[in-house]
């Protein structure tokens, strides 16, 4: 059963017929229902229920965990019969009891391991409750339960039933936490996840410390961190208590078995059935075995810590790759012609939003085409699709007449250079960041690329020159300096296709002039897509494509589009008014 906080504000539970409660038949009055409550356990253990509507979905493939305990009476009867059969032979009885004592140690450990159920969902907590359907009314007669056979659903909307489920959750959580190590393995995973979130919050605040200080939000961030830290501590404490209880109960059970052996062995020695030496030898063997089994609880604690983290790693590994890295075509020579043919696209996280709809655009080899339009219109999406960060839902994208889905993704990206608004620099030296574009570049090639990017002068002015460390995300450099290093890196890569995504929008006028001059050199002879909000940066493009409603609404030069008095004209006039 799944706790769903969806748009419809409903809670969904799975409901199954339990064979061990009663066999499935067509008589609804005799059927017993088992409610399987699965609630999200992170970050809050006790979810808030919506009492407006509860929707139950029926299934019949659940194998109850409580089935493990159904045979307890049979086991007890079997043990009693075995003991009664051995009462006539005292010596045989003593051996049987000693054997049972030894087996008891093994049974406790093996039984504990048998209860470990690693099949549980890493995100869900299972709580099982079995009851007669007649306690809340039968499926057929209850006014609180409505059965829809076609949809295989049962709808419940009474507060009393929801309250009962809440109480079941509270009671059963405590019970299952104590006897189900897989439950507290999940608790460990949740605690580790909460700790990771706490660390990420601190890293985010420190990484944006200037913004935090500028808005005088130190107290706010400290309060958020303290609250998240307390939540992480509570979850870790909860997991630790569960592990401690398990280890304590295990140790108590093992010691209880040992005491039973000592007591009964003493009675056998007193009766002369066995010698004290035999008892001592047996006790030593038992202690050795007990010590070995007691180490299992420590080992399991370590496995639990590993399992908690492994659940998240496994989740990532099991995710399917949208664009697999498989061999593809590698063109011997690339001219740089780009074609978007009836392309339709929706982001996986926002499938209800059609970003591109029958989008058509052709960029000739060596042509500079600027993409203009309102923010959020899909300009950056066009670049992302060309680099195959996503796959188009409809239509196709071609490079030199070949669909990019048939090309090797790595080969294609090696022939595409990109300069973003915020360049991505690594926390290493300027030289290493430059060589990211061409790992085997010589010093002479690097310096020449930096001269073309107007970067050599300021790099040489640093005491350590090209060995200067730029810091995390290049914090030791100004925006213009980072941008010019990114341009030099693109020049070293020598791509045939170039994407400039808001490359100069965050720079001052002086830096923008230097960067624009470097970009002009970089674009020479290359097929270039220029994405910009400021229309002053696209006026010199060979052509401008105005994107609206997921399509190319207008296409032409700056002069041609201005003469049409269309969408491009309106964009220009709006920006001119904003600057006045």
Averaged pLDDT for residues 422-436: 87
pLDDT score recorded for residue 298? 67
Helix axes 276-317, 90-115, angle to 10 degrees: 20
β-strand 527-531 against 32-40: which pairing, if any? unpaired
Residue 301 reports pLDDT greater than 90: no
Residue bearing tokens 């012609």: 337
* 272: preceding bond cis by omega (within 30 degrees): no
Report the C-alpha gap between 427 and 394 in whole angstroms: 39
The top-scoring range by mean pLDDT among 127-131, 166-170, 181-185, 565-569 is 565-569
Give me the domains of the chain, ranges plus CATH numbers.
11-66+116-317 (1.20.1560), 338-415+495-579 (3.40.50.300), 426-485 (no CATH)
pLDDT of residue 576: 76
| Three-state secondary structure call for residue 516 | helix
**Is pLDDT above 90 for 396?**
yes
Is pLDDT above 70 for 87?
A: no
DSSP 451: H
Least confident of 279-283, 317-321, 352-356: 317-321
Helix (H, G, I), strand (E, B) or coil at 514: helix
pLDDT given at position 555: 92
Residue 580: pLDDT band (50, 70, 90) is low
In this prediction, residue 236 carries a pLDDT of: 81
Residue 325, class by beta-carbon neighbours within 10 Å (0-12 exposed, 13-18 middle, 19+ buried)? exposed
Query: Would you say residue 454 has pLDDT above 70?
Result: yes
CB 37 within 8 A of CB 131: no
What band does 253 get if pLDDT is binned at 50, 70 and 90?
A: confident
Mean pLDDT to the nearest integer, 497-522: 72
Please indicate whether residue 21 or residue 191 has the higher confidence score (pLDDT): 191
pLDDT in tens, 47-82: 333 333 333 333 333 333 332 223 333 333 444 444
CA–CA distance, 355 with 158 (Å, rounded to integer): 42
Q: Are 20 and 30 in contact (CB under 8 A)?
A: no
Query: Residue 26's pLDDT band (boundaries 50, 70, 90)?
Result: very low
Evaluate if residue 11 carries a pLDDT over 70: no
Mean pLDDT for the chain overall: 68
**Residue-level pLDDT at 503:** 65
What letters, b where the CB count within 10 A reaches 16 and e where it falls short, cover 114-134?
eeeeeebebbbbbbbbeeebe
Is the pLDDT at 375 greater than 60? The verdict is yes
Question: What pTM, to 2 d.p., does this model score?
Answer: 0.55
Burial class (CB in 10 A: 0-12, 13-18, 19+), 47: middle
Q: How confident is the model at residue 10 (pLDDT cuts 50, 70, 90)?
A: very low
99 has pLDDT over 60: no
Instruction: Indicate whether 35 pLDDT > 50.
Output: no
pLDDT digits (tens, 9 = 90+) for 515-562: 777 777 778 888 989 887 666 667 788 899 999 888 999 999 888 988
Q: What is the pLDDT of residue 345?
A: 93
Check residues 293 and 426 and name the one with the higher pLDDT.
426
Dihedral in degrees, nearest 10, Cα atoms 368, 445, 488, 529: 20
Output 361 or 513, whichever has higher pLDDT: 361
Residue 218 vs residues 175, 226, 227, 352: alpha-carbon distances, Å: 43, 12, 14, 38
Cα–Cα distances in angstroms (integers) from residue 426 to residues 91, 165, 429, 504, 508, in the given order: 78, 52, 8, 20, 23
- Percent of all residues in the chain with a pLDDT value above 90, rounded to a whole number: 9
- Give the mean model confidence (pLDDT) for residues 499-521: 71
Q: Residue 309 pLDDT more than 80?
A: no
């Amino acid at each position: 059963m799944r706790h769903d906080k969806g748009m419809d504000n409903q809670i969904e539970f799975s409901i199954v017929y339990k064979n061990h409660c009663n066999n499935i038949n067509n008589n609804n009055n005799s059927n017993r229902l088992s409610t399987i409550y699965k609630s999200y356990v992170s970050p809050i253990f006790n979810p808030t229920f919506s009492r407006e509507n509860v929707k139950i979905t029926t299934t019949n493939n659940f194998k109850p965990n409580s089935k493990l305990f159904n045979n307890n009476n049979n086991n007890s009867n079997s043990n009693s019969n075995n003991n009664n059969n051995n009462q006539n032979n005292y010596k045989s009885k003593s051996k049987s009891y000693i054997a049972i004592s030894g087996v008891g140690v093994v049974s406790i450990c093996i039984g504990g391991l048998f209860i470990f159920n690693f099949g549980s969902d890493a995100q869900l907590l299972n709580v099982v409750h079995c009851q007669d359907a007649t306690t809340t009314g039968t499926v057929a007669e209850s006014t609180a339960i409505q059965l829809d056979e076609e949809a295989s659903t049962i709808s419940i909307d009474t507060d009393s039933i929801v309250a009962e489920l809440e109480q079941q959750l509270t009671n059963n959580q405590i019970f299952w936490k104590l006897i189900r190590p897989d439950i507290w393995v999940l608790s460990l995973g949740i605690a580790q996840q909460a700790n990771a979130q706490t660390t990420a919050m601190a890293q985010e605040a420190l990484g944006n410390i200037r913004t935090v200080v500028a808005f005088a939000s130190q107290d706010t961030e400290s309060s958020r961190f303290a609250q998240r830290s307390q939540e992480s501590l509570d979850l870790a404490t909860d997991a630790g208590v569960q592990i401690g209880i398990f280890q304590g109960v295990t140790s108590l059970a093992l010691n209880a078995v040992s005491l039973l052996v000592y007591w009964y062995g003493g009675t056998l020695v007193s009766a002369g059935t066995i010698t004290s030496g035999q008892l001592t030898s047996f006790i030593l063997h038992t202690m050795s075995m007990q010590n070995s089994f007691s180490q299992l609880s420590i080992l399991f604690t370590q496995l639990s810590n590993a399992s908690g983290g492994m659940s998240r790693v496994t989740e990532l590994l099991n995710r399917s790759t949208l664009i697999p890295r498989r061999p593809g075509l590698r063109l011997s020579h690339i001219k740089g012609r780009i074609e978007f043919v009836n392309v339709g696209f929706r982001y996986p996280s926002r499938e209800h939003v059609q970003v591109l709809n029958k989008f058509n655009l052709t960029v000739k080899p060596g042509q500079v085409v600027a993409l203009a339009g309102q923010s959020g219109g899909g300009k950056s999406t066009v670049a992302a699709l060309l680099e195959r960060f996503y796959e188009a839902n409809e239509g196709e994208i071609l490079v030199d007449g070949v669909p990019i889905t048939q090309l090797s993704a790595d080969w294609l990206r090696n022939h595409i250079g990109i300069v973003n608004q915020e360049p991505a620099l690594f926390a290493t030296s300027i030289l290493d960041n430059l060589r990211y574009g061409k790992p085997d570049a010589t010093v002479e090639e690097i310096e020449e690329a930096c001269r073309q990017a107007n970067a050599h002068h300021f790099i040489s002015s640093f005491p350590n020159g090209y060995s200067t460390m730029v810091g995390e995300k290049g914090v030791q450099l100004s925006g213009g300096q980072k941008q010019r290093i990114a341009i030099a890196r693109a020049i070293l890569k020598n791509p045939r296709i170039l994407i400039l995504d808001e490359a100069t929008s965050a720079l001052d006028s002086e830096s923008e002039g230097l960067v624009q001059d470097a970009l002009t050199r970089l674009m020479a002879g290359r097929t270039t897509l220029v994405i910009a909000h400021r229309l002053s940066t696209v006026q010199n493009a060979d052509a401008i494509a105005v994107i609206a409603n997921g399509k190319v609404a207008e296409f032409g030069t700056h002069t041609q589009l201005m003469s049409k008095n269309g969408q491009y004209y309106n964009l220009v006039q709006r920006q001119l008014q904003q600057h006045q």
